[in-house]
């Protein structure tokens, strides 16, 4: 059984397993609205995790591109003009913040 609160349009705005003061009704766990509520919550959590992962991967790719260019494997000019401009902007921003050494925490470990 779940305790729920609805908005003026009758939509669920809060669902809890324990009673709370603002709860206006209870619904069984197999209710379609409860199932939809938790399915939506799972999707939202997954999207947040992917977004955080994307931000972390940007840093990895940025570092990888810098290493490859420093070793002469690729040249920045091999990349499309839009990518070159973005890399230049990021390089300038990173240099203003003290370079690559500031981006990885001391307690982080990894393959690179």
Q: Where are the domains of the chain?
A: 53-112
Q: What is the pLDDT of residue 109?
A: 53
Tokens linked to 70: 């420093």
For residues 105 and 3, the model is more confident at: 3
Say yes or no to pLDDT of 112 above 80.
no
Length of the chain: 112
Q: What is the mean pLDDT of residues 44-48?
A: 87
pTM summary value: 0.48
DSSP state of 18: S
Q: Rounded CA gap, 101 and 79, in Å?
A: 25
Cβ count within 10 A of residue 76: 14
Q: What is the pLDDT of residue 33?
A: 93
Q: What is the pLDDT of residue 108?
A: 52
Q: Comparing C-alpha atoms, which of 100, 110, 105 is closest to residue 69?
A: 100
Give the tens place of pLDDT for each residue, 74-100.
999 999 999 999 988 988 888 888 755
């Amino acid at each position: 059984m779940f305790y729920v609160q609805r908005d003026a349009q009758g939509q669920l705005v809060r669902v809890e397993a324990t009673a709370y003061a603002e709860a206006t009704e209870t619904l069984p766990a197999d209710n379609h609205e409860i199932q939809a509520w938790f399915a939506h919550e799972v999707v939202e959590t997954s999207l947040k995790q992917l977004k955080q992962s994307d931000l972390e991967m940007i840093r990895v790719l940025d570092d990888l591109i810098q290493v490859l260019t420093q070793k002469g494997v690729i040249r920045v000019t091999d990349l499309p003009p839009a990518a070159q401009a973005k890399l230049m902007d990021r390089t300038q921003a990173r240099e203003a913040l003290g370079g690559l050494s500031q981006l990885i925490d001391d307690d982080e470990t990894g393959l690179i």
